[in-house]
A and B are shown apart, each in its own frame.
Chain A
Amino acid sequence: MQSSFFGLNVATQGLFTARTWLDITNHNITNAQTPGYSRQFGVQSACRPLPNNGIGMMGTGSEILKISQYRNKYLDTKFWSNSSHLGEYTVKNSQTSSIETILNEIKDTGISKQFDDMFDSLQKLSTDPSNESYKINFIDMAKSFSRFFNDIGDKMRSFQREANFSIKTKVDQINYCANQLATLNEQIENVEFSGAEANDLRDKRALIVDELSHIINVKVDERVDVNGKKTFSVLANGQKLVEGTKVNLLETKSREHLNNPEDEPGLYDIYWANGNKFDMTDPELEGELKGYIDMRDGNNGNNFKGVINSLTAASNIITVSNVNRADLPDKGEIKIDGVVYKYDSFTYDKGNNEVTFTLASNAPAGAKNVSMGEDLKYKGISYYTERLNNFVRTVAEKFNEIHRGGNNGTGGPLFTFKDYNPGDVVDYSKMTIDNFQFSSEIASDIDKLLTSSDPTSGESDNDIIKRMLDLKHDNDMFKTGEPGNYIQALIGELGIDKSQAASFEKGQVDLNLMINNQRLSYSGVDLNEETTNIIKFQQAYVISAQMIRVFDEIYDVTINRMGAN
């Protein structure tokens, strides 16, 4: 014989189930626009049936076992690995765009324009070298040519400082994310210890990983040990950042020495909290952080390199041959066969192309390869600054060589730099776009601007001016040919880099959208679906209530009317 109230209980179960579903639906609807939210559902099942004499098992209604969520780990992983690509190229796109704006070429104020202006004024001067206003005009144009570069230098420097600051900000963000992840891990562990699913907390955690994966490439792992304890860990570029409730944070420290000679002093290096250096040049690194590092430090492999010919005994004086450049900081750090050494001074022998360093400590016998800074194959601020330095140095040297021939070989340099002492030999390795300037001596005394090599040949002799004019078409000045070509090649390079970054970014955006849509397709809340659920479970609720009324009537009949007879 079954219980008198059996049906009423089943109907009540129905009410509970429908009510729980309506609550879940409600939650889904209110969170439809919550970032990172994945829709939840009840795991519904029939209650344990009771054996009924003779006719088999009698159903006892339904129940919600637990509330779970739609979340696809595979899509998450895909999203995270793509997100760091997107972060990197978003930064690179916007940053190269800034360099483009700084150089401002093809608008009316670029280097080419300044260079052409200067040569125009030189052409004018060549037609009447005795004309003082033409001379002044040329000097003005040459001054504005040099100032234009100073201005670029200024902007490049502040641009590099900004990139440097961004690196610090990104490191702080990584730390912030790591701490949040650890906190969430703790909360989730506590909740799930009892076997429930911490759906909303998990969503929050995944959202933070979303954010983190934009900054740096991450690898996420959730291990379950034999006791069922789950440990959520995050590797940032292959190194442990978060493991359960433990974090391994990053920090930034200012460099003591320049990596690239054109760098701002005191740029940040990144270290792990345990003191290990974070490898900023790791080719595996991705994300916004990588974007800023590449922009700040990228030298396209133009860092100082050379080879020690023979070092038979340990010595603190080493001579490095086959060097690719000699515009080094007065003192700094070099790497000898991968080991860092400080040097106090150096000299350059142009004839043999050798640099001799005086080290603070002895280099071992047999040492071979010497380098400074990192070989970072990206065309960043360092690279473009170095290219522009090279341009002004070469142009200045050529102009000065010719002008020196003026007035029986007594001409002073036309282009110098800020700390240049009149009379000194111009050390072009000290000349940069920051300090490059038109000779103040000549600017203040235009008679020192020489137009001919022979002072007695007459005021209209312009052999010096003509030779300077020829520089414009001097095909041997640069590897890429005449100076105009050099700038054009540089601008072309920059344009290609920028449009490449832009198209990478666009591709990544598309890919990101696709993956995100896949995620949304799986996890997102659909209002039509929720509306359907409302209707479904409202009906279920109404019908269950109806059931109760039915049983109520049954009891009324059974208890009141039958007993009243």
Chain B
Amino acid sequence: MRITNNMVANNILLSLNRSKYAYSIYETQLATGKKIQKPSDDPIVAVRALKFRTSVREVEQYKSNAKDAISWMTVTENSISNIIEIVKKARDLSVQASNDPLGIGERESIITSLKQLKDQLANEGNVDYAGRHVFTGYKTDQPLTFTEAVSGKNYKIKEKFNSDDVETIEKIIDDTPNPRVINVDRIRLGYSNIKDGVTTNIGSLNVVTMDSNTTNAYEPAEGTVNFLKDTGELIFNSKDKADGDISGSIEFEYNKDEFEKNDINPIHYFECTDYNNVDYKNQRDNISYQVSYNQSVPINSLGKDLVTVDLMRDLEEMINEVGKVSKDGSKYDDLLKDSLGDKFNQLIGKIDKHKNGLLKQEADLGTRINRMDLTINRLEDDKVNFTDLMSQNEDIDVAEVIMKMKSQEMVYNAALMSSTKIIQTTLLDFIR
């Protein structure tokens, strides 16, 4: 075969060009640290790179969510342990107050402390995390309790009970000159000082609205229910109760337009309609953060499980009970005073129940925080794994590329050298 000058030139050019190209590929790899610069360099690596990048970004976002969740839950946890402390203090005070020989003066000072604790409790319910109230479900912009007194803004509140909620309490009736102690069957609503009457679904009984100081307020006639709007109680005739007239689900609907500072906000506790005709459904709002693909973790605790209606009402009632003693030395007063020890004893029992509930909530939250810690650990691992895989997939082995580049450089130099040798000389150089 004839080998002509232009053939040689063509071959040299092509191989030099290819050699330079291969060299430039290694050069770019070193400069960028990546095996590929565009999808076509290696489509499989490219697609995997995209997948890994998305995974790493997701894991990072989940981690940030999880950290956020832990912060939120830590705030919640602190607040719950504060609440528990407050409740414990209230119990200690109650134990002190239940001591029979205690005089009314000492009990009144204890009540002052209880009032403060009740206010603290209300305040604790309004704890926020970065401006969002943590105990109020989705309504993070609305505090759990009123931070100032509200008047003239009507809430239509609906409460649901069943027959088990009818409790029997002792009541001292001021029947001068012979006050007496009677048992009363009642349902206590969430609020005292209710605006007007109450509507209910108990058709068989006739509800009569009155104040607690009305005669026979605590002794309704058969077939009648006394609704005491100042204390927020519904008093049943014991015979009606025994006859089973109060059964199944009982609903009461009432209006309240005056709230004191630290009163609980009905929208977080009850099904209600506010003064702007907005309906609230009393759902168990569940704020949850995504911490992994397909896994959401609830982060919030609900105020109505912590600062409960009952706890607030129990404290309120106790405070009122002590306040009723007028120290005029009447028989009724004596009887009231005598009963205080028992009342405080009963309160201890109730507080213990509340406390147990709170401890359960605290434990539940603790578990969730633990789980979140584990999740963060796992996400941390995932991130390392994905980053590792990503790196394996698309990053170069620097030593290897340098070596390849060096050998490519040698090939290139050798090609340059040999080509100059070939094309420099012709036969002419050797004539004569």
Contact = CB atoms under 8 A, between A and B. Distances in A.
Interface of A: 32-33, 96-97, 100-101, 105-106, 110, 112-113, 116, 119-120, 123-124, 126-128, 130, 452, 456-462, 466, 469, 473, 484, 487-489, 491-492, 494-499, 502, 509, 513, 516-517, 520-522, 524-529, 531-532, 535
Contact of A106 (B50, B278, B296): B50
B138 A461 contact: yes
B295 to A, nearest CB: 12
A491 B5 CA distance: 45
Nearest to A509: B14
B301 to A, nearest CB: 14
Contacts of A466: 290, 296
A478 to B, nearest CB: 15
Contact of A495 (B10, B39, B138): B39
Contact of B426 (A33, A113, A457, A527): A527
B141 A458 contact: yes
A299 B68 CA distance: 48
A452 B138 contact: yes
A459 B5 CA distance: 82
Contacts of A112: 50, 53-54
B49 to A, nearest CB: 6
Tell which of A460, A488, A524 has the most Cβ of chain B within 10 Å: A460
Nearest to B140: A460
Contact of B38 (A100, A113, A531, A532): A100
Contact of A528 (B53, B290, B427): B427
Contacts of B431: 531, 535
Nearest to A104: B38
A531 B141 contact: no
Interface string B127-170: 00010100011111110000000000000000000000000000
Interface stretch (B40-48, B96-104, B250-258, B399-407): B40-48
Contact of A521 (B2, B65, B141): B2
Tell which of A33, A106, A456, A459 has the most Cβ of chain B within 10 Å: A106
A388 to B, nearest CB: 15
B57 A520 contact: no
A529 B10 CA distance: 19
14 contacts: A33-B6, A100-B40, A112-B53, A112-B54, A113-B53, A116-B58, A128-B130, A452-B138, A456-B279, A491-B47, A495-B41, A498-B39, A521-B2, A525-B6
A492 B39 contact: yes
Given A457-B138, A498-B40, A527-B427, A126 B289 contact: yes
Interface stretch (B211-219, B280-288, B341-349): B280-288
Contact of A123 (B42, B61, B130): B61
Given A491-B46, A502-B40, A524 B7 contact: yes
A217 to B, nearest CB: 24
A110 B39 CA distance: 11
A120 B62 CA distance: 9
Contacts of A128: 130, 132
B171 interface: no
B417 interface: no
Contacts of A489: 47
A120 B61 contact: yes
Tell which of B50, B57, B141 has the most Cβ of chain A within 10 Å: B50
A484 B54 contact: yes
Nearest to A459: B141
A533 to B, nearest CB: 11
Contacts of A469: 290
Contacts of A130: 132, 140-141
A473 B293 contact: yes
B302 to A, nearest CB: 12
A46 to B, nearest CB: 26
Contacts of B141: 130, 458-459
A32 B137 CA distance: 90
Nearest to B17: A509
B54 to A, nearest CB: 5
Contacts of A119: 61
B242 interface: no
B11 interface: yes
Tell which of B39, B136, B138, B431 has the most Cβ of chain A within 10 Å: B39
B6 A32 contact: yes
Nearest to A525: B4
A106 B38 contact: yes
A489 B58 CA distance: 20
Chain B contact-residue range equals: 35 or more
B392 to A, nearest CB: 16
B138 A517 contact: no
A486 to B, nearest CB: 11
A317 to B, nearest CB: 46
B4 A96 contact: no
B428 A531 contact: yes
Contacts of A105: 39, 46, 50
B427 A458 contact: no
B239 to A, nearest CB: 42
B141 to A, nearest CB: 5
A469 B295 CA distance: 12
Interface in B313-369: none
B304 to A, nearest CB: 14
Contact of A491 (B10, B14, B39, B278): B39
Given A106-B46, A521-B4, A495 B38 contact: yes
B57 A116 contact: yes
Contacts of A520: 4, 6-7, 10
B139 A459 contact: yes
Given A494-B39, A516-B10, A522 B138 contact: no
B43 A499 contact: yes
B3 interface: yes
Nearest to B4: A524
A128 B137 CA distance: 12
A97 B37 CA distance: 12
Contact of A494 (B40, B53, B69, B287): B40
Contacts of A459: 138-141
A531 B427 contact: yes
Contacts of B279: 456
A499 B280 contact: no
A7 B380 CA distance: 105
A460 B135 CA distance: 12
B14 A460 contact: no
A466 B40 CA distance: 36
Nearest to B280: A456
B31 interface: no
Given A100-B40, A526-B3, A488 B10 contact: no
A462 B285 CA distance: 11
A245 to B, nearest CB: 32
Nearest to A516: B10
A521 B39 contact: no
A512 to B, nearest CB: 10
A120 B46 CA distance: 22
Contact of B5 (A96, A457, A526, A535): A526
A68 B7 CA distance: 22
Contacts of B296: 466
Contacts of B289: 126-127
A456 B283 CA distance: 11
A327 to B, nearest CB: 27
B5 A32 contact: yes
A491 B54 CA distance: 14
Given A456-B281, A494-B40, A522 B137 contact: no
A112 B39 CA distance: 13
B51 interface: yes
A531 B14 CA distance: 27
Nearest to B53: A112
Contacts of A492: 39, 43-44, 46-47
Contacts of A531: 426-428, 431
